[in-house]
Amino acid sequence: MNDDERYQRARRRVEAVRGFYVHLVVYLIVNAGLFLINMLTSPGTLWFYWPLIGWGIGVAAHAFSVFGAGKWLGPEWEEREIRKILDKGERR
């Protein structure tokens, strides 16, 4: 991998992390607003947690795609598996 490919890969990674943090901040701001609206308009009937849960699942999936998938089934995992297979073949 040359320097330009490494730079492009690092740039895509930084953009993915930034995208996740933007998503998280928007999630927190919007859901704080929904909580305030719920408390000011109908404190006896709590509904704010429904969008909080639904969107929270989406945020968790986004976090997994950015921070967790690479370790599990992403390119780094593929490289480790290839190295394991090659190492086993060399030992025979």
DSSP reduced 3-state for 86: helix
Cβ(34)–Cβ(52) below 8 Å: yes
Cβ(76)–Cβ(82) below 8 Å: no
If you count DSSP H runs as helices and E runs as strands, how many of each does the chain have, helices first? 4, 0
Boundaries of domain holding 73: 3-91
Specify the pTM. 0.75
How many C-alpha atoms does 60 have within 13 Å on its Cβ side? 6
List per-residue pLDDT tens for the chain, 92 residues long. 788 988 998 999 999 999 999 999 999 999 999 999 999 999 999 999 999 999 999 999 999 988 886 666 677 778 888 888 988 876 65
Structural domain count of the chain? 1
Distances, alpha carbon 45 to alpha carbons 16, 27, 37, 42, in Å: 38, 22, 12, 6
